[in-house]
Structure 1
């Protein structure tokens, strides 16, 4: 019963306390014939608790350590120390072993005034042997090194640097304990070194031997307390101590005067310190201790349990009085009953209970493997979200580890059932999308960013500004055409970056492009703008505006609004929905809006004397399409008679166009929809047409320029021989044609510079792209020119605001400057003085003779009609088409 250790929060009713209990010094007073009890008990303990520390000692064991101050105590130390009890063995007795070691040390005389021989003794005893090795190195270094060390210590003392003077690496815990424990009055010593000197053999004779012995006993018990301490810092559990479910039985057989002396010291140390320890002494002797003045009467074994309870009840008062027998519990030990003799009922019951008792198993959490398993489970649970996030990022080609780097901020969002990587990046740590041409364009942009940073570092006087290109850069299989159109826009930025980011160009500004992705069809544009781009602008004053914005959808509109609320200029390069300027006072639009596109359609219909115009739109809710259809109906000479069909619903009728034999060449089928449905629209329209001469004239909106830019979309066999016209927003660039692709154009200086850069880019494409990803059109894409002009516009503004170089101008100054001056661009003049919507720019109907085959000079679009508005709300006038290159 006594060897069982209570649980951590188990309550004892007799002492009204939880956890560990004070243990008695159980003294068995043998009756004649009871000599072998402790030997039998030792064997029983070995069988019942083989892995719990327990020892049997006799006076013969103590005789082996006569050099020790307390030979029997040292014998117990030798028996308990080691690994014979498995995981519960005591491997360290730091306090006792240090004290015992010092009692046998003889100090060498001082060599110099401030020499402390005890310091060398303690350092050699320290667990960290590297300090001893350092001392050896100093000794080998000679007198100069020793003089340096002595001088350092002397100077430290002069300046009052006493902290650490008695600290020894590896003995911090022991130093604190020795200087705080009560025996030998540590405060009589100036420091730990002085106290340690008092323990050595040379100084022991000057000390109180009783105090020294109590110090050794206290140190021995302290080491056991440390091993049994179940918490660290009062609440952190210590697993190896929680595994100790039994106390440490120490069996002392044939107790002699030295044994009684040890018990007396243990009794007094426990009374005087009030600290608990796990040592359970069980002794056997024939007589009471001689020095005990009034020995207690031993209890008989059959009332031992009540005697223990009575002992606990008396203990608080007795230990307060420092009674010499406060911790003793005397029990008489009768002789063994003759074999075959029946035990009395109570004794028999006690043995039956004892035989059925087993040591308490260690707590579940402290068992081997359980804690490790729980740790693994917790780690796995903690890593589950990062692992899932990493997997999502990997699946979506989204930076995970690089996202923490400067210049990248990404997240994975589900769009149309597919995880897509959205966010922004200015370096190759994150490249959006999978299309080779699109990725190459971004890599070229990022390479130019690195070049701009390098040039700015070497020439800090050059203005360094940034633009955020914001578009949908991740797509699914239903939007292959968009990949090439976005790649065209990035290529336009690359061309302008290469013009600007060159050495030896005076004070020309340097351009950095941050590529931002709003997801497929810009479906996460609002969240990206609000959560990622706004903080980016707040942190980086060199960023002047957001450009691109790609699609007139509700998410793009919300993005424009939230950016405007934070004072950020936005410039839509291909947006055409009417009224976008109302979303933000800082919104600018490079392309004419849908009102101008509707006027262009009706003026074209009048020019070719079309007998009928049918507007075919998509049934999807799309702000761009709705705005365009509404504008076409409003601009019609007879608004109520415009036919507008959802071509999906009217597909059966649309496919019957050629069956009635009617010649429809004078009619116009105007496609007002997105590029991803245009190919299917043409297939349905010519489904039953054996010849193409009876088809109505196909005219498509500006969105179909993406279809034109995508080679695989045009080269399907169904499109062979089919001609089409579409609205072009950069006719001057497209019509520059083959001469521009060859890098030659004499019409405009701006177009000449553009064509030179475009030629180098096409040559690069020929070596780095293959198959359908390689652009083959014999003209520059209009979106290449549009973004080239946008970057040139901001570069021109920065140069005018910072003619002598210097930091990037304030965004407000840039926005104001955009309203004050026109800019001559490759695709025509950009002028926002009258309106932030560039309706004064040219808009053209471009015609392809054969969608399927655009190779060669005959494949270049021809300009059918070009218009522009003369001034704000002024008349729309027909302009001459530019010369074709």
Structure 2
């Protein structure tokens, strides 16, 4: 049977009547109010777009009529039965209330009865309960704001319990946490009780709006409660009715945030007898606000007969009322329809109600089911699925952060450019990503680099200056977090070069962006990083070169070869192994070769013999790691130069920290000294020169500890190669051994103290940008030259780019043109050198180009514990150096070592 049909064999109109009541309570699938008649033609969803101005249809209007039922008889008891075995003539799912209202009974008491009957597992009345509780105490609270505040605290018992629990727990925690637990919860609770703070206390905020008539400037809830006159029955009744209706409206709201609201398929039915007139009038008063919709069907009934103008069937009267609502022209007519009651006359009550049982669909059509997605089961499944999805996504993001060393949220197409290998994050990153978190100085340096990149991008907007990317490739992680001082100083040098360059002006001055690439603590992933750079495309700021590079190892050589195959020019800052310049024509370095520092070491040893400090004997301690080209190359060169000067020299090898001992395949005849610390012990008592041709970190650190273990009072004369500067760079590491002094070679002169005139402007900018570098002997003092060497490497690359941009021969800037320009840096400029670097003059050959600088400075310094290293002497071009700083035998350096 179609919805809206009635029984044909129903002369008394009982079926029509019960069908009308049931239909009033049925909630439409969309919108609110009485459904359109099922006999009215359905409108297309696009009809609203095509409606003509004269159509006059307002099908979106909400509204339920106030029903006046005359000659009710026993129908109210039938419509809202209280017995379990009663016959239901309307849908049993309709929430209903039939309070027994007595003559003169006030509205608050009537509402209390209604709420008691409607309260169920589907309907809750939190606003009404709070308001009713306060109204009961109104006589005691009137004019007493503090007492009203206490009453609010008691009413808000859940939060009050939390405040009390926090206060009790404060006794068991130390200061200042106990003070925080005593003060903060109470303060937050008072803010909640004021009703002023959004998101804190929804019921209390509602109560403040209701008491103040939605005045945003009203005082707090306690003051409003204290100002409410308990004798003002009308205002109190309106307040309680608003609380009741707002509770219902909130639960019937349909939105993505209120899914349960769609599960209410029936409006509540209120049956009010002839003594509820005052409540009916207040309900009629609420209908004047067209923006408000009260989701409730109110039937006021009387046993008296009422003369009807049109004796229409109830169902047809409802249809006509709905038609008047949607066709009313203007708000005044709309309001008049809502305020006019729907008057119907109840039919005689049949003796046999079983014929009209709602189970029979011929009288009342079956009610629609609540949407499946509004049920508790569906909502629980949804939240479980959402929690699972969020958990899976969080797990995937965490795994991505861990395995790909990424930041931010994971997406299927995201590529971080990094990966976790063992305990190290290797790959390419913007300066904002810290490969070794927790190092405050490193983070500050990278922040300056990040700001430099942002400035370059901003300057690039609207500028035709070349905009390029230079990659700093180095060992930016270590298994020992305390051995990254040299890496940090290298980054600082790059940061100063970028800052100075981006601050310059001129059409040929390039704007420089820096990318960081970590190849692992031993440069073991350098080749993979080189291949990764090939896939890193940036059309706006293309990669034109690589600077940095660390440790002359087999892995570093592989990286140089891969970068050369890719056509990326390189300028190494600290590499010195002789063979590197033969690995790729794209490779350049700003440090001298091992051959030059080996000659310097032998000449210095000869001077020590002449002064009687040592005998003409020498031991060269080196790492037996076959992949460490630096150690093997420097050992070979030093032994050869010492023997040329008549020294009895022998090699002593040791196992580097973390490596395995020599195996059966080892064929070396050199003395094996064991671990680096054991090698240091073995050096005690030797009266010649002890030369250390290994890694400064961690091998030399252990070697010096071994010397201190056995002969701290009379240590041998130790001279370390340039890699020992990594050990000297970190004062916290070298201060652990304060009784053993040693010499070491360096490729850069130490700066003057902060506040004094510096050899090069680089140091003034360095100390101004990174004040921690002025801490002496603090953790940041740069005395080893790594910062200056990195600056010179970056400045060399920038100089090549700058020369490309000169207007007289301006050519496109790319990796190949930059490489070609690097090969011409033997041409002097106005200063007399190709580049006046922070570590000295940089000339890549006076007559013909080569890949390492001519007559590059090599210095010998003496260090002991945390004391400031002292320069003993030097050879080579050093900016602003005086004659007394140089060794007397510098002029005798053979041409092949210049």
Give me the whole-angstrom Cα distance separating, in 2, the residues matched to 1:552 and 1:114. 82
**1:788 is aligned to 2:791:** yes
Query: What residue ranges of structure 2 are gaps of 5+ in the alignment?
Result: 44-49, 65-318, 320-352, 610-614, 655-672, 827-833, 879-887, 894-898
Give me the whole-angstrom Cα distance separating, in 1, the residues matched to 2:393 and 2:516. 31
Q: 734, 751, 754: which is aligned to 2:762?
A: 754
Closer, same or farther in 2 for the Cα pair 1:75/1:564, shift >3 Å? farther
Closer, same or farther in 2 for the Cα pair 1:538/1:61, shift >3 Å? farther
**1:435 is aligned to 2:439:** yes
Query: In the TM superposition, what are the counterparts of 1:385-784 in structure 2 within 5 Å?
Result: 385-389=395-399, 392=402, 399-401=407-409, 409=416, 411-415=418-422, 418=423, 420=425, 422-426=427-431, 428=432, 433-457=437-461, 460-476=463-479, 478=480, 480-481=482-483, 483-502=484-503, 508-531=509-532, 533-609=533-609, 611-620=616-625, 622-623=627-628, 624-632=630-638, 637=643, 642-646=650-654, 647-649=673-675, 654-655=680-681, 658=684, 664-689=686-711, 691-692=713-714, 695-716=715-736, 718-720=737-739, 722-730=740-748, 733-734=749-750, 737-738=751-752, 741-742=754-755, 744=757, 751-761=759-769, 763=771, 765-766=773-774, 772-775=778-781, 781-784=784-787
Shift of 1:527: 3.6
Q: What's the secondary structure of 2:476's corresponding residue? A: coil
Closer, same or farther in 2 for the Cα pair 1:403/1:441, shift >3 Å? farther
Aligned to 2:110: none
Q: What's the secondary structure of 1:842's corresponding residue? A: coil
Query: What residue ranges of structure 1 are gaps of 5+ in the alignment?
Result: 1-24, 26-53, 66-70, 84-88, 106-112, 128-215, 217-251, 264-277, 281-361, 746-750, 869-876
Give me the whole-angstrom Cα distance separating, in 1, the residues matched to 2:421 and 2:607. 48
Aligned to 1:348: none
Q: 801, 805, 815: which is aligned to 1:802?
A: 805
Give me the whole-angstrom Cα distance separating, in 2, the residues matched to 1:498 and 1:404. 36
Give me the whole-angstrom Cα distance separating, in 1, the residues matched to 2:53 and 2:735. 95
Shift of 1:814: 1.0
Give me the whole-angstrom Cα distance separating, in 2, the residues matched to 1:99 and 1:640. 115
Rg larger in 1 or in 2? 1
Shift of 1:782: 1.5
Closer, same or farther in 2 for the Cα pair 1:653/1:625, shift >3 Å? closer
Closer, same or farther in 2 for the Cα pair 1:453/1:405, shift >3 Å? farther
Give me the whole-angstrom Cα distance separating, in 1, the residues matched to 2:410 and 2:855. 42
Instruction: Give the conservation status (yes or no) of the 8 Å contact 1:496–1:791.
Output: yes
Instruction: Give the conservation status (yes or no) of the 8 Å contact 2:859–2:873.
Output: yes
- For residues 683-709 of structure 1, give each alpha carbon's deviation from its aligned partner in whole angstroms, at most 9, with x where no partner exists: 2124332632xx432111211111111
Q: 824, 840, 847: which is aligned to 1:820?
A: 824
Shift of 1:92: 7.1
Instruction: Give the conservation status (yes or no) of the 8 Å contact 2:591–2:852.
Output: yes
Query: How does the TM-score come out when normalised to structure 1?
Result: 0.52
**1:100 is aligned to 2:38:** yes
Closer, same or farther in 2 for the Cα pair 1:690/1:608, shift >3 Å? closer
Shift of 1:681: 0.5
Give me the whole-angstrom Cα distance separating, in 1, the residues matched to 2:53 and 2:676. 105
Give me the whole-angstrom Cα distance separating, in 2, the residues matched to 1:554 and 1:724. 29
Shift of 1:667: 3.1
**1:860 is aligned to 2:873:** no
Query: In the TM superposition, what are the counterparts of 1:116-515 in structure 2 within 5 Å?
Result: 117-118=54-55, 120=57, 367-368=377-378, 371-372=381-382, 375-376=385-386, 378-380=388-390, 382-389=392-399, 392=402, 399-401=407-409, 409=416, 411-415=418-422, 418=423, 420=425, 422-426=427-431, 428=432, 433-457=437-461, 460-476=463-479, 478=480, 480-481=482-483, 483-502=484-503, 508-515=509-516
Instruction: Give the conservation status (yes or no) of the 8 Å contact 1:863–1:881.
Output: no
Closer, same or farther in 2 for the Cα pair 1:125/1:564, shift >3 Å? farther
Instruction: Give the conservation status (yes or no) of the 8 Å contact 1:466–1:543.
Output: yes
Give me the whole-angstrom Cα distance separating, in 2, the residues matched to 1:403 and 1:611. 66
Instruction: Give the conservation status (yes or no) of the 8 Å contact 1:399–1:410.
Output: no
Instruction: Give the conservation status (yes or no) of the 8 Å contact 2:418–2:429.
Output: no
- For residues 814-833 of structure 1, give each alpha carbon's deviation from its aligned partner in whole angstroms, at most 9, with x where no partner exists: 11011122223222333445
Shift of 1:75: 7.4
Closer, same or farther in 2 for the Cα pair 1:118/1:409, shift >3 Å? same
Aligned to 1:842: 856
Aligned to 2:842: 830
Closer, same or farther in 2 for the Cα pair 1:843/1:562, shift >3 Å? same
- For residues 416-439 of structure 1, give each alpha carbon's deviation from its aligned partner in whole angstroms, at most 9, with x where no partner exists: xx354753114x465754322222
Instruction: Give the conservation status (yes or no) of the 8 Å contact 1:573–1:786.
Output: yes
Deviates more, 1:638-647 or 1:619-628: 638-647
Root-mean-square deviation (CA, aligned residues, Å) is: 5.3
Give me the whole-angstrom Cα distance separating, in 2, the residues matched to 1:440 and 1:861. 29
Q: What's the secondary structure of 2:515's corresponding residue? A: strand
Shift of 1:682: 1.4
Instruction: Give the length in aligned residue pairs.
Output: 548
Give me the whole-angstrom Cα distance separating, in 1, the residues matched to 2:795 and 2:767. 18
Q: What's the secondary structure of 1:423's corresponding residue? A: strand
- For residues 480-501 of structure 1, give each alpha carbon's deviation from its aligned partner in whole angstroms, at most 9, with x where no partner exists: 23x2212222222233333333
Give me the whole-angstrom Cα distance separating, in 2, the residues matched to 1:399 and 1:708. 34
Give me the whole-angstrom Cα distance separating, in 1, the residues matched to 2:762 and 2:31. 84
Deviates more, 1:558-567 or 1:809-818: 558-567
Shift of 1:101: 5.5
Closer, same or farther in 2 for the Cα pair 1:773/1:650, shift >3 Å? closer
Closer, same or farther in 2 for the Cα pair 1:797/1:123, shift >3 Å? same
